[in-house]
A and B are shown apart, each in its own frame.
Chain A
Amino acid sequence: MKFKIMILGCLLLALALPALAQDSVKTVEASAIPAISPPAPATNVTAMDSPNDNGHSLTLRWTLSADDGAGQKTVLGYKFLRSFFPDSGFVLREGMAPSGSSEYVDMGGRKPDDRDFMPNDTDYYYIVRAITADSNVYSDSPVIGPVKAVGQLYNVGRTLVLVFVLCFAAITIFFIRRARKGAKLFVRRLAGIEAVDEAIGRATEMGKPILYVLGLGTAADIATIASFTILGRVAKKVAEYQTGLIVPCYDAIVMTVAQETVRTAYLDAGRPDAYNDDMVYYVTSNQFAYVAAVNGTMLRQLPATNIYMGTFYAESLLLAETGALAGSVQISGTDQVAQIPFFVVACDYTLIGEELYAASAYLSREPILLGSLKAQDYGKAAIIVISILGIIASQFRWNWFLELFKAGN
Chain B
Amino acid sequence: MNKWGLIISLTIIAAGLLYLFIKSIRGRDVERRFIFLFMGLAVAVPILFNISFSEKATPIVKAAFDKIENLPPGSKILISFDYDPAMAPEVNPMTDAFVRHAMAKGHRVYFMNLWATGQPMVATAIDRIIKTEFPEKKNGVDYVNLGYKAGGTGVLNVIITDIRKMYLTDVNGINLDSLPIMNGIRSLRDMDLLISVGGGLPGVKEWVLFAGDPGHIPVVGGCAAVSAPLLYPYYPNQLMGLLGGIKGAAEYESELKRKYPRFAETPQPGIKMMGPQTMAHLVIMAFIIFGNISYFVLKSRGE
Cross-chain contact A338 with B226 (CB below 8 angstroms) = yes
**Which of B108-116, B181-189, B239-247 faces chain A?**
B181-189
Which residues of the other chain, B, contact A76 by a CB distance below 8 angstroms? 72
Residue of B nearest to A408 (CB): B214
A9 at the interface (CB under 8 A from B): no
Which residues of the other chain, B, contact A115 by a CB distance below 8 angstroms? 164, 177
- Known interface pairs A107-B189, A115-B177, A338-B227. Does A95 touch B184 (Cβ–Cβ under 8 Å)? yes
B230 at the interface (CB under 8 A from A): yes
Q: How many A-B contacts at CB < 8 Å in the complex?
A: 33
Q: How large is the interface on A (under 10, 10 to 19, 20 to 34, 35 or more residues)?
A: 10 to 19
Query: A200–B259 Cα gap in the complex (Å)?
Result: 63
Query: A115–B185 Cα gap in the complex (Å)?
Result: 11
Option from B162, B177, B214, B230 in Cβ contact (under 8 Å) with A338: B230
CB distance from A348 to the nearest CB of B (A): 15
Residue of A nearest to B165 (CB): A114
Residue of A nearest to B183 (CB): A94
CB distance from A239 to the nearest CB of B (A): 36
Which residues of the other chain, B, contact A407 by a CB distance below 8 angstroms? 213
Which residues of the other chain, B, contact A116 by a CB distance below 8 angstroms? 186
A98 at the interface (CB under 8 A from B): yes
Cross-chain contact B226 with A409 (CB below 8 angstroms) = no
CB distance from B13 to the nearest CB of A (A): 24
A144 at the interface (CB under 8 A from B): no
Cross-chain contact A409 with B186 (CB below 8 angstroms) = no
B192 at the interface (CB under 8 A from A): yes
B170 at the interface (CB under 8 A from A): no
Option from A94, A98, A409 in Cβ contact (under 8 Å) with B192: A98
Cross-chain contact A409 with B75 (CB below 8 angstroms) = no
A337 at the interface (CB under 8 A from B): yes
B190 at the interface (CB under 8 A from A): yes
Query: A161–B215 Cα gap in the complex (Å)?
Result: 16
B3 at the interface (CB under 8 A from A): no
- Quick one: which of A56-107 are within 8 Å of B by CB? 76-77, 93-96, 98-99, 105, 107
Residue of A nearest to B184 (CB): A94
Q: How large is the interface on B (under 10, 10 to 19, 20 to 34, 35 or more residues)?
A: 20 to 34
CB distance from A336 to the nearest CB of B (A): 11
Cross-chain contact A95 with B230 (CB below 8 angstroms) = no
> B208-232 toward A: CB 8 Å interface, digit per residue (1/0)?
0000011110000000001100100
Which residues of the other chain, A, contact B183 by a CB distance below 8 angstroms? 94
Query: A279–B110 Cα gap in the complex (Å)?
Result: 54
Cross-chain contact A98 with B184 (CB below 8 angstroms) = no
Which residues of the other chain, A, contact B215 by a CB distance below 8 angstroms? 409
CB distance from B251 to the nearest CB of A (A): 23
CB distance from A265 to the nearest CB of B (A): 34
CB distance from B106 to the nearest CB of A (A): 13
Of listed B177, B190, B192, residue having the most chain A CB within 10 A: B190
Residue of B nearest to A114 (CB): B162
> B258-283 toward A: CB 8 Å interface, digit per residue (1/0)?
00000000000000000000000000
Cross-chain contact A107 with B75 (CB below 8 angstroms) = no
Option from A94, A107, A337, A409 in Cβ contact (under 8 Å) with B214: A409
CB distance from A393 to the nearest CB of B (A): 16
- Known interface pairs A95-B190, A98-B72. Does A409 touch B184 (Cβ–Cβ under 8 Å)? no
- Known interface pairs A98-B72, A98-B75, A409-B214. Does A337 touch B230 (Cβ–Cβ under 8 Å)? yes
Query: A114–B227 Cα gap in the complex (Å)?
Result: 40
CB distance from A353 to the nearest CB of B (A): 12
Cross-chain contact B164 with A105 (CB below 8 angstroms) = no
Option from A93, A94, A99, A107 in Cβ contact (under 8 Å) with B187: A107
Query: A337–B230 Cα gap in the complex (Å)?
Result: 8
- Quick one: which of A102-154 are within 8 Å of B by CB? 105, 107, 109-110, 114-116
Cross-chain contact B186 with A105 (CB below 8 angstroms) = no
- Known interface pairs A115-B177, A116-B186. Does A99 touch B72 (Cβ–Cβ under 8 Å)? yes
Which residues of the other chain, A, contact B184 by a CB distance below 8 angstroms? 93-96
Which residues of the other chain, B, contact A93 by a CB distance below 8 angstroms? 184
Query: A95–B226 Cα gap in the complex (Å)?
Result: 39
Cross-chain contact A107 with B186 (CB below 8 angstroms) = yes
CB distance from A402 to the nearest CB of B (A): 12
Which residues of the other chain, B, contact A94 by a CB distance below 8 angstroms? 183-184
> B64-82 toward A: CB 8 Å interface, digit per residue (1/0)?
0000000110010000000
Query: A115–B187 Cα gap in the complex (Å)?
Result: 12
Residue of B nearest to A337 (CB): B230
15 contacts between A and B (CB under 8 A): A77-B72, A95-B184, A96-B184, A98-B71, A98-B72, A98-B75, A98-B192, A110-B162, A116-B186, A338-B226, A338-B227, A407-B213, A409-B213, A409-B214, A409-B215
The 7 A-B residue pairs whose C-beta atoms are closest, nearest first, are A94-B184, A409-B214, A95-B184, A98-B72, A94-B183, A338-B226, A107-B186
